Amino acid sequence: MINEIIKENVLINFDIDINENGKGRDEMAIDTYTIIVPIEAITEEVSLDELHMEFNSCISNVKIAEKKITMDYFTGETTFIRTVSEIQEHIRIMVNSIRNKLANIKIGNFKLVYNFYTWRD
- Domain tally for the chain? 1
Q: Give the residue numbers spanning the domain of 105.
A: 2-119
Whether residue 48 is predicted with pLDDT greater than 70 in this model: the reply is: yes
Claim: this prediction has a pTM higher than 0.95: no
Q: What percent of the chain has pLDDT over 90?
A: 0
What's the order of all strands across the beta sheet hosting 10-18? 2-7, 10-18, 114-119, 32-38, 68-74, 61-64
d(CA 104, CA 55): 11
Select, from the ranges 18-22, 53-57, 62-66, 87-91, the one with the highest average predicted confidence (pLDDT). 62-66
Rounded to the nearest integer, the mean pLDDT of the chain is 64
